[in-house]
Structure 1
Amino acid sequence: MLDVTTKAARHNFYSSLTWKLKRQEILDRDNYECIWCKEEGRVTTQFDSILEIDHIKELEHHPELALHNDNLRTLCKECHNKRHERFNYRVSTKKKKWDDEFW
């Protein structure tokens, strides 16, 4: 079984030729388009955003599915960050300064 328990082990996995070939296979399968954007009627390709391969069932919890096509999908960086609640995708409780204004 694949060891991905440490940050170094995950780095080794994502740097491996096996992963790079699988990543290319998934990009080809998904026509270099973000699956979530496509479901919403938008087209986001490698020319619009960085495309990333998402593990539907997390790699850390399901290392046995690391290279299974059914567990992988193409997402743009924005959707991938949203999926993992990273960066600017955390819910903000701060009220915007001009929310009560309309012109």
Structure 2
Amino acid sequence: MTEYKSEEQKAKFYNSYAWRKLSKQIKERDNNECQECKRNGLVTIDTNEYSEKAKRKKIKLVVHHIKELEHHPELALDVENLEVVCVDCHNKEHNRSFEKKINKWESDERW
């Protein structure tokens, strides 16, 4: 059985044709809506905004493994273990926090 412990192994999986095809199907199944927001009475959909800075579409929704890929590789492509969530809910689920950086030069004189 394939393991997904290293970042390289995970990147290879997430760039695979099988994952890209299945994630597209899961987004369609879940109507391109965040399922966690939906459970909480909110609606979060993909806005299709484009980021000039990154030169690509802004990622609003992702396909999430309910049981983590690293710990349950056998469920990597199991549709029952996948759901669409927004980036905010996904970051909360994985205990990631991105605090806004403080601009120490904000009040500095500009000329």
TM-score, normalised to structure 2's length? 0.75
Correspondence 1:1-103 to 2 at 5 A: 1-47=1-47, 50-88=60-98
Which 4+ residue blocks in structure 1 deviate beyond 4 angstroms? none
Structure with the bigger percentage of helix:
1
Structure 2 CA distance for aligned equivalents of residues 20 and 54 of structure 1 = 13
- Aligned position for 2:108: none
Structure 2 CA distance for aligned equivalents of residues 86 and 58 of structure 1 = 15
Deviation at 1:5, TM superposition (A): 2.2
Where does the alignment leave 5 or more consecutive residues of structure 2 unmatched?
A: 49-58, 100-111
Percent same amino acid among aligned pairs? Answer: 44
Structure 2 CA distance for aligned equivalents of residues 43 and 62 of structure 1 = 29
Structure 2 CA distance for aligned equivalents of residues 6 and 84 of structure 1 = 17
What is the aligned length? 89
Structure 1 CA distance for aligned equivalents of residues 4 and 41 of structure 2 = 35
